[in-house]
Amino acid sequence: MNILDLQIDRVSEDESKKSKQLISELEELSKSTAKRGIVKKFTNTIDGTDVEISSWRFNEWDYSSKKVKLPIYARGLFTVGDRIVCRGYDKFFNVDELGSVSKKALQETTAGPYTLTVKANGCIVFISGLEDGTLVVCSKHSTGYREDLTRNHALAAQTALEKQLEDSGLKPKELATTLYRLGMTAVAEYCDDSFEEHILEYAQEKAGLYLHGLNYNTCDFKTCSMAVVTSFAQAFRFRTIDYFTIPTFEATMEFLEQASETGLYKGEEIEGFVVRCQKDNSDFFFKYKFEEPYLLYRELREVTKQFLTKGLDNVSFKNHKLICMDYLKFVIPLFDADPSLKDDYLQGKGIVKLRKLYMEHKQKSGSEIIKEEQSMAKLEEELKCAGYGQDTCKYVLVTVATIGCGKTTTSMTLANLFPDLIGVVQSDDIPSPIKNKQVAKCLEVLVEKPIVILDRNNHKFIERQQTFEYFADLNKLIPESKLKFICLNFLGKVSKDDPKLWEITRARVLDRGDNHQSIKVERDGTYKAEMIMKGFLGRYQPVVREKFPDSRFDHIIDLIVDKDSSLENAKLITRKLLEIATDIKINLPSEEQFLEAYKKALSFKPLVTKNFKTKKEKPQYFGIQVNDIDKVTQIHEIDFFKQLQEADRLKKEFHITLVHVGSTKKNPPVKTIYQNYCGLVKDTEKIDDQMELPYKADAKLVRACWNSRVMCIEAEVKRIYGEEGERLESLGIGNRYPHITVGTISEKVQAVESNKLLSDLHEFGDENIHTLEFNIELHQLPVFVHY
């Protein structure tokens, strides 16, 4: 059969005019200084020739922007002169990734039949030809030899293609000439584990170039049917992609959702499907990617790399902790027996092999192992609720209070009553910076005693969140199901704005004079003590049982603040412990014993004097406080935001970092900016780790950006000004891409990853980063310093 007979349509004469106009427009956009809708041009020579070929790449976020109209939506575009030589598919998205590809929108706007093609898992390749028969092979945005690449996908694919043709008795010129005469680009996936391993296995018998598209080299997206693609693949000995057709959208979604439960198609694991259909009488693609077992496979790969580079103690788990721990237990002896495996693995080799060995060891597929893990987790929870299989629990009593609420007196009363059961760890006894030191000390106490009181104000959400994170990081001995957290909510029955609260706490602090680790009324005066108290009270964030981190508490005990409330609170806590800690033998003290323990607590004198550090302590960062992000209603519809919300992984406080001390190293311009901000606080005495400054800022929230690990909101700082409205133009911004971190997927993912995400987005157009644009102005936001 003549391959040319496969394609009855031909590129019209008008297309050459459209192409010239398009390339002219692209040239202008490549010189533009605008932030959106620009294109990056890279010119190289086609391999083996001196013919110049240009690649045109848009920023990933512009493909989904409603505010930007791109001249072409091809993802992968190469031109020679005024002619399109290689054209990729129009950018297409996963179901529900954008509003335009929600199930509802797809049902209403697309028309069948729906052709489903198995999604290959390799490197995309564009193949075309010149008039003289020169073969053109491109990767996503590159072709030809380049000194700046450590791994050249285009040349590797070209070598594989030439061998494929040679083994079949065909010449590269035949393929090149055919594609040139058709005016088409062959789109393939280069899958070969010997070159680069991905998630799915493509060993020698499966390795090769999988043809899945034939696109017209035109401005408008137009592609051939899969029947034509398959015939072309067979003619030139490409590997073929499995495909089938479903007539209706409803039936298509039913099939996809059922297939996603196992991640299998015809008994083999696949990444998902690309769905081809019609929209507005034009070719239209969307994809349906399976979450599992690919999330598991990626996590197995990442935890192994962490183990090999950082050691077992520094491995962080995400979604599949039980499986990953079991997997590491299996593979660590293999690495010990053969050190060469480590070098190969870190070079991207042997990843699939080790995973397969583990699956063979378990005699289960990835999906079966995930189901087994879910059953184990569910069983563990059911047993925990039923009280089976547990020894004595360990209880952490976390105080939440402001200064003068009586938390230390209450805590010491309890410790005096139950010296063998309860220990107290006071934050004021811990040298600064406290960070995780207090939690570490609490864990030491729990080795000897079943109950410890973490005596600290914990007056902000972030402090409570850090407490849980520190316990998760440091606890190596106590099973998670046996570690219980109880909140001692001192302001549980009173508002922080109640004048009576201020009267009681102020009187207590002034009465005890210098009998406190950090507040010395007699030494420093009443005014300083009141300023410190007001600072804590102003920043106090009440306990909210339904929201993270407070939802992590197993129990919350609401206490009172009154004249002699410490004694009453000690009695209340004791009664509650009798109800909660039924696995511990606690005897109810008599009234005389309560009173004696209380009087002893009142006579307690601190052995450590802890001074609030002054201005000599170096600020860690300066920022703009953003009280909430509720105005950004658009992000509430993003699936990843909902995932963070359901997992209680949204930040409790939001801010835009202006400059961080960590970014000043070996960076003189940023160091100057940091020093500018330090000048704002040079005459200000530090009375807390974070203090609001007498300055305000206006900012604009530009867009939400996220991948599978972190979400942030990119921002623009419009101006910073003083109390009289004077602009502080000379300060500058030390953060290259100002932003608000919204949340991270787990406790192990640090907020600093937002910087890398935005850097990858701006500089490389990372395809795994999603964006949603908006334009929200915020005014008179507080500026603060954090020590």
Query: Tell me, what CATH number does 570's domain have?
Result: 3.40.50.300
Whether the CB-CB separation of 519 and 527 falls below 8 Å is answered with no
* Radius of gyration from C-alpha coordinates of the chain: 32
User: Among residues 386, 412, 431, which one ends one of the domains?
Assistant: 386
**Cα 201 to chain center, whole Å?**
27
Per cent of the chain over pLDDT 70 is 89
Q: Residue 159 — φ and ψ, nearest 5°?
A: -60, -45
Asked if pLDDT for residue 8 goes beyond 80, the answer is no
**Average per-residue pLDDT in the chain?**
84
Q: Are residues 487 and 532 in the same domain?
A: yes
Tell whether the torsion through CA atoms of 119, 125, 129 and 133 is positive or negative: negative
Average pLDDT over residues 508-522: 59
Type and span of the H or E element at 453: strand 451-455
Q: Are residues 208 and 231 in the same domain?
A: yes
β partners of residue 622: 659, 785
Residue 267 in any domain: the answer is no
pLDDT of residue 495: 86
3-state secondary structure 538-603: HHCCCCCCCCCCHHHCCEEEECCCCCCHHHHHHHHHHHHHHHHCCCCCCCCCCHHHHHHHHHHHHC
d(CA 277, CA 115) in angstroms, rounded, equals 7
Q: How far is CA 773 from CA 400, 600, 740, in A?
A: 38, 61, 14
User: Among residues 386, 411, 434, which one ends one of the domains?
Assistant: 386
Q: Are residues 233 and 307 in the same domain?
A: no
| Domain enclosing residue 327, as ranges | 294-386
Residue 252 in any domain: the answer is no
Within a 13 Å sphere around the CA of 269, how many CA atoms are in the beta-carbon half? 21
Type and span of the H or E element at 640: helix 639-646
Candidates 412, 428, 398; CA nearest to 607 is 428
Residue 311 in any domain: the answer is yes
Residue 208 in any domain: the answer is yes
Strongest mean pLDDT among 345-354, 527-536, 571-580, 689-698: 571-580
Asked if pLDDT for residue 141 goes beyond 80, the answer is yes
Average pLDDT over residues 298-327: 81
Residue 66 in any domain: the answer is yes
Candidates 640, 654, 467; CA nearest to 549 is 467
Interhelix angle 366-386/321-337, nearest 10 degrees: 120
pLDDT of residue 353: 84
Q: Give the catalytic positions in this structure.
A: 119
Which residues fall within 8 angstroms of residue 671, CB to CB, at 6 or more apart? 664
Does this model's pTM top 0.85?
no
User: Among residues 572, 602, 632, which one ends one of the domains?
Assistant: 602
Candidates 250, 272, 252, 251; CA nearest to 261 is 272
User: Residue 520: helix, strand or coil by DSSP?
Assistant: coil
Query: Tell me, what CATH number does 130's domain have?
Result: 3.30.470.30
pLDDT of residue 223: 95
Whether the CB-CB separation of 404 and 505 falls below 8 Å is answered with yes
Whether the CB-CB separation of 174 and 206 falls below 8 Å is answered with no
pLDDT of residue 715: 94
Q: Are residues 676 and 546 in the same domain?
A: no
Residue 648 in any domain: the answer is yes
User: Residue 58: helix, strand or coil by DSSP?
Assistant: strand
Asked if pLDDT for residue 215 goes beyond 90, the answer is yes
Query: Each residue of 450-467: pLDDT tens digit?
Result: 999 999 999 988 889 889
Q: How far is CA 50 from CA 157, 378, 605, in A?
A: 20, 64, 85
Query: Each residue of 241-262: pLDDT tens digit?
Result: 999 999 999 999 999 999 888 8
Asked if pLDDT for residue 285 goes beyond 80, the answer is yes
Q: Are residues 236 and 312 in the same domain?
A: no
d(CA 355, CA 301) in angstroms, rounded, equals 9
Q: Are residues 380 and 398 in the same domain?
A: no
Tell whether the torsion through CA atoms of 445, 450, 454 and 455 is positive or negative: negative
Query: Each residue of 383-435: pLDDT tens digit?
Result: 445 444 446 789 999 999 988 898 999 999 999 999 999 999 988 777 767 78
pLDDT band at 143 (very low <50, low <70, confident <90, very high): confident
Per cent of the chain over pLDDT 90 is 37
Q: Are residues 598 and 629 in the same domain?
A: no
User: Residue 531: helix, strand or coil by DSSP?
Assistant: helix
User: Residue 439: helix, strand or coil by DSSP?
Assistant: helix
Candidates 551, 542, 544; CA nearest to 495 is 542
Q: Are residues 567 and 680 in the same domain?
A: no
Residue 282 in any domain: the answer is no
- Total domains in the chain come to 4
Identify the residue whose tokens are 């007539």.
Answer: 247
Candidates 490, 416, 483; CA nearest to 455 is 490
d(CA 686, CA 786) in angstroms, rounded, equals 10
Asked if pLDDT for residue 575 goes beyond 90, the answer is yes
pLDDT band at 731 (very low <50, low <70, confident <90, very high): confident
- Say if residue 542 is exposed, middle or buried (CB neighbours under 10 Å; 0-12, 13-18, 19+): middle
Q: Are residues 398 and 382 in the same domain?
A: no
Q: How far is CA 69 from CA 34, 88, 769, in A?
A: 13, 18, 20
Query: Each residue of 748-769: pLDDT tens digit?
Result: 888 889 998 998 888 777 777 9
pLDDT of residue 683: 64
Q: Are residues 431 and 401 in the same domain?
A: yes
Q: Are residues 463 and 576 in the same domain?
A: yes
Structure tokens at 120: 């290959």
Asked if pLDDT for residue 543 goes beyond 60, the answer is yes
pLDDT of residue 301: 87
Q: Are residues 462 and 588 in the same domain?
A: yes
Q: Which residue has the higher pLDDT, 584 or 681?
A: 584
**Cα 16 to chain center, whole Å?**
45
Which residues fall within 8 angstroms of residue 748, CB to CB, at 6 or more apart? 316, 317, 318
Residue 276 in any domain: the answer is no
d(CA 164, CA 161) in angstroms, rounded, equals 5
